[in-house]
Amino acid sequence: MGGMPGPYVIRGSVVLPEAELTWRFSRSSGPGGQHVNTSDSKAELSFDLAASSALPEVWKARALERLASRLVDGVVTVRASEHRSQWRNREMALVRLASLLAEATAPPPKPRRATKIPRGINERRLREKKARAETKRGRSGRDW
C-alpha cells in the first residue's frame, strides 16, 4: 500500500495540503475478536483551519464562522472507524474533511425574490375549494 491518494480537492483549484493535516490512530470501539487488540484502525484527522494558508481568506472566514461549533482552538477534527482497515478509515476521514470544508466554504445561496401569486391560480384554488365544500355539504344527513 503506497501513500494516500491525493490531493483532496475542496473546490476549484483549492486542495488540502498534506503538510497541514495531523493524523491520530487508536483502537476502534465495538465488539472484540482476534486482531482487535493489536490494530489501531480508528483514524482521527485534524486540520488547523485558523492557521491554514491553503484557503483563500474569504473562504477561511466563511468556514470559521460556519464551523464555529465544531472548532477547538481553530482546529476541525473528523473521525472514521466504520471499516476494519486503518487505510479505509483514513480515506473516509479525508473525504469527510474535504466535503465538510467544501460545504462550509460554499458561497451563501442567493436570496429568494418574493413574487406575486398569479390571479388565475388563486381563483382556481377558490373554485376547487367551493366544489369540495359542496361535495361535503351533500354528504350531510338532512335529506336522507
- Answer yes or no: is pLDDT of 4 > 60: no
Task: Give 48's contacts (C-beta < 8 A, 6+ positions apart).
Answer: 20, 22, 74, 75
- Tell me if the pTM is above 0.85: no
- Alpha-carbon gap, residue 137 to 122, rounded angstroms: 22
The helix/strand/coil state of 48 is strand
pLDDT number for residue 111: 93
Q: What is the mean pLDDT of the chain?
A: 82
